[in-house]
Every structure is written in structure tokens, then in C-alpha cells.
Structure 1
């Protein structure tokens, strides 16, 4: 057998032992957002350090202001590419506990419609995913005594709580972590039998605005019609964000928004995405947004302006005839391509002020600012990984985009100059962040085999 076939056979024969190792990690209650679990986060980090050292990595635990980082290095053949694999060992809280069928930190295997599932907190997000890579490395070492690439691993313990220590850590350890390519396994497949590589992530610019009108709440019978009503002003500001074709009206908003290449659009058309099912799942029927674009294009390749919350006036039970002194809204912009989040927010401020009466004022409360990330479709590693996934799954890998954001990908690009391949084996129905989180056994098994193939493909160039 060739090396690759020997390694894949090792993955298969080690599957049961691999699951037991994963279950050992899953039993550690590494909830990052709750200080009461700080010791468990430390325990999970140390478990990974010990596991990687046993595999021949030079692994260590790096303490931060928050939870520790795991960093590990393994040499590869001369001239082989150097990859940085990223994952996170922390998990979401488990509340509400009474909606779990079993204890969230006592993982088990269940069978549903003939398919086996791994169940427990962290199975899909992200312990099960990161362990597919660790186990791929284990099988390479057991079968051949070496890895085909030079590998650095970074596991963090704060992804589920905003990664406050990550940027300082990248700044301090950039030279140690820098590689030719980053690999991120915190994403999904297209469906249970179709692998996927996420090539684009939308950015974000968000702002809270507070419109100040009269000096106090007013009786609407005494002042109605004569006094400015901040809710009216706010409503005007928000409604004017879009025209009757669904386009955002901010000056220069679409600067940097490039069309989707025809071949990628054709690939998306062949995915069989059902707008009826997608919207029907949430009780809707018609696609909103810009006229002339599909729902899939809206969430993958078009920028948005969304109102996420509005507060003003009396909102308690019963009725109170009041003109409020203030009204506020939380607004977010999902960005694509080369849109500049700072320019978008500046244009939003200008928009707000053109709708503001002279005797009223506005207060801005800034939130996130991050650019979109777009992988170059001509990147050789993209083709290599795509071919490897297709060989494993028997179906062409879908090159998809993501409507949300994974900030680490932008950080790798800006701080370390690295592109990232986002290859994950989760499914939309894995209940991440929810009770009864699960990970398909096929996702775990074939995910491990996929990383074996990807490492070889990258090494072959």
C-alpha cells in the first residue's frame, strides 16, 4: 500500500480508541465565559498539551490574562509547506440543563435513522472538529513515523467568550505562529454527504445610536404635534437606510463590493439550495433584500444593513401617552469584499445627521469593526484541498461562503499575513450552542480521513 492508504487504514483501525480519547476531552467542562470553570479550561488545555507531546509535538501551555493557549510544533520534510492549524477547546454554557436528554459532559453514542451520532457539549463546536486533525496527525505518525508537512497548532480557550486574549497573543508570538497557510476547522459541510470549503466570510460594522429630543418625557396631550418625538426621528433614520429596491442608501456603501465570478455562481446554483425551505423553517415565504439576488447570494455575497434592536418610550404593560426624551437603535452592517467598516460607519453617521432636526442631538456608541475575508479562488492550496476532499467524500467539494464572521481568519491575514483554508465537518443541525449538541460519527471519521488527505495534498503541491 502507498503511504496515504496505510495512514487511512490506520485511521479506520483506530476509530474506537480515537472516540474514547475525544470523550476524555469532552468530559472536561471547559466553559470559558463562566469564571467558575477556569480550572476546567486549564485542565482541557493541559490535556491537549499532554496529548500532543505524546505524539511527538513540542507542545506547551501559555498562560494569558484569560484562559491559556496551547501551542505545539512538529517538524516536516525539508521543503514541505508549513501549516498552522487553529481550533478552540472552550465550549458554550449548557443552560437550560433540563432540555438535555443526557448530561452534557457525559458524552455517548446514539443511533438515529441508522446513523450513529456523538452527543455532548463540544462534540461539534469545537472539540470534535479539532480532534479530527489531531487524530489525523496521530495516524500519520503511527503509520509512517512522520508528518508530510511542518505543523504548528494553536488551540485557544476563549473563542466562545470573544477571544479577548487572542490579539495580544498573536502580537507577542507572531513569529512563532507564522506559517505558509492557516487551517481552520470550525465550519460546516454543505450537507451530510457534501464536503465544503468556506472561501468568504462577511465582515461587520455595528453601532448603537441614541436620539435625544426634549429634556424629559412629555405628556402627548400637552406637547403632541408641537414637540419633536425621538421615536419619529429614529424611525425616519432607519426607514431611509434602504430604497424601494432594497439597496442600502448610504453614500459609497457599495464601494469594494465585487460581483461573484460566473463559475462560482454556477457552482452555487448547482447546490440545490431551496429558498422555500430555508425561509419556511422560520415561518416566512418571500425573499427580502436587494431586488435581483437570490437568498443564497444575500447571505453569502451581498452586504446588509440590519436593525437589531429599537428602544423608546413606554414599553411596559398597559398604555402611557408619552413623548419620550430619547429613543435608541442598534444597527449592524454585514460587509463583503473590500468594504471599509470605518467608511461605512462614517457614512452612517452622515446619514443620521441629515435626518436630525436642529434642536435634537445624537449619541453614538461604537461596537465591532471588522473587514470581510475573501480567499483568492486561484490559491493553489484551495484546489489541492478541494481535490483531497472530493477523493474522500466521492462528491465535488462545494466552495461556499458564510454569512457570519470568524474573526481569527481576519486576524491571521492582517497580523500574520496568512490565508486560511476553512474546512469543517459540522452540520447545520448539530445543535451547537444548544441542548443535545451532536456530531455525526461519519463527520468525525471521514473528517479525520479528510485531514490525512489534505496534508498529503498540500505536501505534494
Structure 2
């Protein structure tokens, strides 16, 4: 019996005990957004730390932050082998509205091979698989094929406010050759997916000032600059007629989509006609030469998200506005940086501001994009592990939004990040009747166990 067969036998023999243990984890109402649950958060951090100790991890610590604590653990007895950092979170979303739950949210119940409870799929179920996978290796072989560290936070559901600072302050402790996270979905049941890229984000407010006050349109209309006219002209200059961003240099550093990436994204199976119908649109829109999925995940954007100026109350006030405001956001892709893109927009504003008005941009949101190339060895090892267990090669996909903590790990630790989906989109995360499909409980354990072996065979 080889090591993977031993591990699989261990998972089968311990399945019921493991599920009962996961139910204990799920019974703790670790809602990070509600101050009344602060003691539950602490209790859940302690439970998580004890689970690592029971699994055989060492140096287990509950480390304070300015918010909820981080649980750290490691096992570092594989000299010459890569070090893997596993990130996850033990906090959960509020369960309301309670009346929509078929069973109480913190009383786990299995129905139709699905484990129902708040946090079952986001993220306690997937996180628990890593703990039991480590336990299985140590119980069956007495060692691990790689070195392992865990960084498990309690603030993911409230935007990980203190996590970037924690990672920066503990870069040496968390140093690793690869970061593995399971907090993203599979494409569908039976079809695994690896998310290899996320877009970054910037946000800014543009203020256009004409006269020092709103003016009577009967006295001044037609004779002075109108701040709203000037602002709309400026905003219109941000795009060409075909939907391309017209800011000089905006695309210069963009990492182009490879033929392999485009082929993989096409497998995601986005029905553009269905999107048009569902949204009541006659046409989609965007940068020419790209599909909807490519535009919304692998290409950068500039969006006008709000415009205000003049009288906003009921009825019409005949004035010439002296001031107008707009808010814009950009989604960024690999090799773009927030400050460089905002510098380009600043230059564009300076050269396209209509005569007679002043325009300034105030910068606010900023977040870097993330990408691990799909041909990276750690990605290919993950893909091979999925295919061996699920019988299907995973789809490599990108996310159109941002998960700031992913980019933080990638940048501060200078390590590739592998986002291994073990959940399903339909599992009601953040909604009533959240569940974790237990087919993915079983196959997820086997996939992770095989992945650890494959990582151990990679050069450090």
C-alpha cells in the first residue's frame, strides 16, 4: 500500500469522527462583524489552535492584532523541502435573516450528503480539510513531505482590516515558498477550478470648479463656464467611442492574455446572450477584441461610478453650477500599479480640462492586482492533483474583483499564491442555509494530500 492509499484509508476510517469534529467548529458563532460575539471569536481562535495541536502542529500561537487574533501554527521538519503557508479564516458572516434557515445556523446538520451551518463552506469546511490532511500525514507516516505554516485570521468577513499589517510585521515568521488558499469556488460540482489572477483597484474623486458659486442662469447662462458641462466633457474623454480607455499609457504595462489563458477562460462557459437578456440590455460593451469573461477578469477598466453637481432636490432650479464632482474607479491587471495608473489619469485630466475651469483629483482606494502564471510548477502540481482525484483537469480562471489579502501575501512574501477552490458557488455562502458538499469534503482531502506530496517533489 503506497502512501496515498494509506492516507485515503485513514480518511475513510476517520470520516465520521472528522465530521463530528467539524460540527464542533461550526457550532461556535464566530461572527466578526458583531461586537457581541467577541468572546465567541476568541473561543473559536482557541478551538482552532487546539485543532492544530491535536493534528501534530507545533509553535501554535494565538497572536493579537488591533482587532481579532490570528492563529499561527507550523511543522518545520522537512529540510531541503519547500515551505507552504496556508491561509484561511475562522470568522463567519452574520446568519440573519434567521427565519429563512431550515435548521438553526449554528446547529450543524447533514442532509443529502451536505453539511448545513453558517461557515460550512466559507471558510471553516475548507480550512478544516487542511488540518485533517496534516493530521493524516503525521499519523500514517510520522512526517510531512513539505514544511508547513498556517496563518488563520478572524477578520476576513470584515475586510481583513488588520491582516496586511500583521503580515508585514511578521514577514520572517510567515516566510514561505508558496501560499495556498481555499476560499474560492470551483466552477461547478465535479469541475475543479484554480483562480490564478485577481484584479487590483483604485478609486478617486474628481472635482471641477468654475465660478465661486452657483449662478442664476437667466443672468449668467451662456456667458460663463458650467462646471457640469466641463466635467461631462472631461469624463467623456476617458474612453474612445469603441469602449477602449483613452488615457495615454493606460495599457502600456498590461500583461497580455496568452493563447493558453484565453483558451482556459473560454472554458468557464459564460453565456453572453443570457447576460444581455437577464440585464435587459441590447448589447454588451467594452474593449474591442475581447470576450465578456476576458474583459471582466483579464483586462483593466476605468468606470465612472457617480456624478453630482448643481441642485439635487425635487424640481428644477435654473442655475449654472459652479462646482461638479465625479467618482471613478479602475480595475487593474498584472503589471499595473495603482500609483502609476493614477499618475496617468492625473496627466490626462491636466491636458483635457476645458478652458475656464479647474480640475483636481483626490486619490482614495488602492489595491494591487495579483497573478500567478498558470505554467508555474506549483500551479501545475495543483492541477495534476485535482485531475488525479476528480478525473477532470481544473479550469484556470481569473476573478474580476479583488481579495486584498491575496495580493498582500504575494507581494510581501514574494511567493506564488495558489487559490484552490473546494467550495461551490451554489452553497449559499453569506446567505441562509449555507452548506458544504461532502463530496468535496472527501475529494478535497485526497486532492490536498496528493498536492502536498507533489509539492514535496518540487525543487526548493
TM-score, with structure 2 as normaliser: 0.91
Contact 1:255–1:338, Cα closer than 8 Å, also in 2: no
For the residues of structure 2 that align with 1:330 and 1:219, how far apart are their CA atoms? 26
Alpha-carbon distance change, 265 to 169 in structure 1, aligned in 2, over 3 angstroms: same
Name 1:109's counterpart in structure 2.
110
For the residues of structure 2 that align with 1:427 and 1:283, how far apart are their CA atoms? 27
SS in 1 for 2:94: coil
Give runs of aligned pairs for residues 131-210 of structure 1, distance below 5 A: 131-210=128-207
Alpha-carbon distance change, 232 to 91 in structure 1, aligned in 2, over 3 angstroms: farther
Contact 2:257–2:298, Cα closer than 8 Å, also in 1: yes
- For residue 250 of structure 2, the aligned residue among 253, 259, 279 is 253
Stretch moving more, 343-352 or 219-228:
219-228
Name 2:93's counterpart in structure 1.
92
SS in 2 for 1:421: strand
Unpaired stretches in structure 2, ≥5 consecutive residues: none
Stretch moving more, 48-57 or 257-266:
257-266
Name 1:68's counterpart in structure 2.
69
Contact 1:197–1:397, Cα closer than 8 Å, also in 2: yes
- For residue 444 of structure 1, the aligned residue among 435, 441, 444 is 441
SS in 2 for 1:124: helix
Alpha-carbon distance change, 132 to 324 in structure 1, aligned in 2, over 3 angstroms: farther
Give runs of aligned pairs for residues 350-369 of structure 1, distance below 5 A: 350-369=347-366
Name 2:272's counterpart in structure 1.
275
SS in 1 for 2:234: helix
Name 2:9's counterpart in structure 1.
9
Stretch moving more, 369-378 or 317-326:
317-326
Contact 1:41–1:90, Cα closer than 8 Å, also in 2: yes
Give runs of aligned pairs for residues 275-424 of structure 1, distance below 5 A: 275-284=272-281, 286-424=283-421
Stretch moving more, 50-59 or 101-110:
101-110
For the residues of structure 1 that align with 2:56 and 2:88, how far apart are their CA atoms? 19
Alpha-carbon distance change, 215 to 118 in structure 1, aligned in 2, over 3 angstroms: farther
Unpaired stretches in structure 1, ≥5 consecutive residues: none
Name 1:44's counterpart in structure 2.
44
Once the 2 structures are TM-superposed, how far is the Cα of residue 254 of structure 1 from its aligned partner? 0.2
For the residues of structure 2 that align with 1:227 and 1:22, how far apart are their CA atoms? 69
Deviations 1:428-459 (A, max 9, x none): 23333333333322233322221111111111
For the residues of structure 1 that align with 2:18 and 2:357, how far apart are their CA atoms? 64
Alpha-carbon distance change, 40 to 237 in structure 1, aligned in 2, over 3 angstroms: farther
Alpha-carbon distance change, 271 to 160 in structure 1, aligned in 2, over 3 angstroms: closer
Once the 2 structures are TM-superposed, how far is the Cα of residue 240 of structure 1 from its aligned partner? 2.0
Alpha-carbon distance change, 279 to 56 in structure 1, aligned in 2, over 3 angstroms: farther
For the residues of structure 2 that align with 1:34 and 1:331, how far apart are their CA atoms? 31
For the residues of structure 1 that align with 2:431 and 2:311, how far apart are their CA atoms? 33
Count of residue correspondences: 457
Alpha-carbon distance change, 208 to 266 in structure 1, aligned in 2, over 3 angstroms: same
Alpha-carbon distance change, 23 to 308 in structure 1, aligned in 2, over 3 angstroms: farther
For the residues of structure 1 that align with 2:434 and 2:276, how far apart are their CA atoms? 23
For the residues of structure 2 that align with 1:221 and 1:37, how far apart are their CA atoms? 60
Once the 2 structures are TM-superposed, how far is the Cα of residue 278 of structure 1 from its aligned partner? 4.2
Stretch moving more, 94-103 or 390-399:
94-103
For the residues of structure 1 that align with 2:309 and 2:110, how far apart are their CA atoms? 49
Contact 1:301–1:336, Cα closer than 8 Å, also in 2: yes
For the residues of structure 2 that align with 1:440 and 1:222, how far apart are their CA atoms? 69
Once the 2 structures are TM-superposed, how far is the Cα of residue 99 of structure 1 from its aligned partner? 4.3
